[in-house]
Amino acid sequence: METNFIHEDVPGGVPLKMWTRGLPVEDQARRQLTNAARLPVVHHHIAAMPDVHFGIGATVGSVIPTLRAIIPAAVGVDIGCGMMACKTTLTAEDLPDNLAPLRAAIERAVPHGRQPGSRDPGAWSKAPGAVTTAWAGLEPEFTELCRDYPKLAKTNHIQHLGTLGTGNHFIEVCLDEAGFVWFMLHSGSRGVGNAIGTMFIELAKQDAMRHQVNLPDVDLAYFEEGSRYFGDYVRAVGWAQRFAAINRELMMKRVIEAAKAVIHKNFQSHVEAVNCHHNYVSREHHFGEDVYVTRKGAVSARAGQLGIIPGSMGARSYIVRGKGNPDSFESCSHGAGRVMSRGEAKRRFTLADHRAATEGVECRKDKNVIDETPAAYKDIEAVMAAQTDLVDVVHTLKQVVCVKG
């Protein structure tokens, strides 16, 4: 198999294999990768995807395999964040000339942003039937977690189930290379996942102060198998990942219902469907060992497995098929990857810049989304070119509607 990665040895640690040819890697991100490579629990090497960039706790776009241990901050606080996409039988000609009503219908159907009432304690009784049915399958294990960690009971859990959130989370209506309509969305485990991640990251740091005195970075504190919190973390993170996948399914159902209210033509909605995490941990076998693989901003790309690599608000996105490259731990990038902070994007770009970059897309064009403007991200075409040994492109999507949280 051809290889696109750059091999870098790390003194006192495992090597880095980086799919970053022709792409920038910040010094901060490189330092984070190097620090992680020096952990005694990391197995064989660390893989960095083309969209790699500095992240809170650990590098976004990194794949970190660990032996009999997990690093909570490498998983992060947006546990189970990921993508879902559905191909329909609709074509471009079936869409209305004016897409604003379609965008408005989706915005009404899927709670997004910081909407009033998100912390309404009465939301239990107001939750739609699909949400309460989904929660019934999640509740028993959550109740067990709350017995051991009571603060989790105070999160928004069911109130956030079926909601988009803020930041880079989005819903899009896209057209593929043949003109078929797709619905695509990006979200995760919302407030409850954040609470789980934050709590266990802090517990890992406390453990590190007692037992792991030589950590290169306290954010890389880890739980080892058999330690006090390891089993609880595995249980909690697995639950949050299930919550995230179900959250995306519930939102997709609402998006399709909203579209059917605007587009007066019968259509099938799941001709092809993909639902994949890109912030998560999974038990897998690589290079002779059973390991915990943490993908923070990376997608599983086993041979034949479908995944989603989204671009920015004005760029193409891709449905891909994995090649099962062992050097990347059978992974690929999760998107374009930021090239600057949100603050820097707001300072550098104007509303005119953003409007020009999103021309032809029915989306928000106000000052509050400038931090998500396409130029704040790497060139998705360059990102895809850097990982031709990881995935094959199955479909190329271009959005015509974008709803931002």
Structure tokens of 112?
A: 């997004």
Rg of the chain in Å (alpha carbons): 21
User: Which one from 157, 277, 334, 395 is the annotated catalytic residue?
Assistant: 334
Beta bridge partners of 404: 170
C-beta atoms surrounding 92 within 10 Å: 12
How far apart are alpha carbons 197 and 180 in whole angstroms? Answer: 38
Alpha helix positions (H), 222-334: 230-262
d(CA 194, CA 342): 20
User: Is 334 annotated in the active site?
Assistant: yes
CA 289 to chain centre: 26
Distance CA 12, CA 35 (A): 10
> Which residue shows structure tokens 């954010």?
219
Which is nearest to 59 in space by CA: 84, 90, 27?
27
Nearest to 239 by CA among 158, 307, 153, 145: 145
Q: Could you give the residue numbers annotated as active site?
A: 334
